[in-house]
Amino acid sequence: MSDDIHGRIQAQIDEAPVMLFMKGTAMFPQCGFSARVVQILSHLHVPFRTANVLEDAELREGIKQFSNWPTIPQLYVKGEFVGGCDIVTEMFQSGELEQLLKEKDIPHQAAA
């Protein structure tokens, strides 16, 4: 059961170069913290995929175990855990997020 969900998460982060586990969807985020990460990724024109943990109780618990991280949202880039809303926001503000995207060869547009 839990191996199953971990396998499913692994497949998701392997498939999508930028994968965001969030509450709601990119179009309709259901939480301010999730909304902020969507906003940052959109601002940088990063192509990303999302999974809505509110529609999937197994995923909601599974992703917390998988990442060893107790809160949502959670951002993965090229299979690597980047962090939640605070870390993504700090990295965006300091320019480290763009640096990471560049290093990982993720298409994006420089912030103005």
Determine if 29 is a binding residue for another protein (CB under 8 A): no
Tell me the one-letter amino acid at 61.
E
The site that binds another protein (CB under 8 A) totals a number of residues, namely 19
Per CB under 8 A, does 27 bind another protein?
Answer: no
87 binds another protein (CB under 8 A): yes
| DSSP bridge partners of 75 | 20, 83
Shortest Cβ 17–another protein spacing (Å): 19
Q: Is 25 in the site for another protein (CB under 8 A)?
A: no
75 binds another protein (CB under 8 A): no
Helix (H) or strand (E) holding 21: strand 18-22
For the purposes of burial, counting CB atoms within 10 Å of the CB of 64, is it exposed (0-12), middle (13-18) or buried (19 or more)? Answer: middle
Please list the residues that pair with 101 across neighbouring strands. Answer: none
Among residues 8, 25, 39, 54, which is the contact residue for another protein, using CB under 8 A? 54
Q: Contacting another protein (CB under 8 A), which of 8, 33, 58, 104?
A: 33
Secondary structure (3-state) at 67 = helix
Q: Which is nearer to another protein, 12 or 67 (CB)?
A: 67
Q: For residue 8, give the amino acid letter.
A: R
Structure tokens at 97: 């997020």
Binding site for another protein (CB under 8 A): 23, 30-33, 54, 68-71, 81-87, 90-91
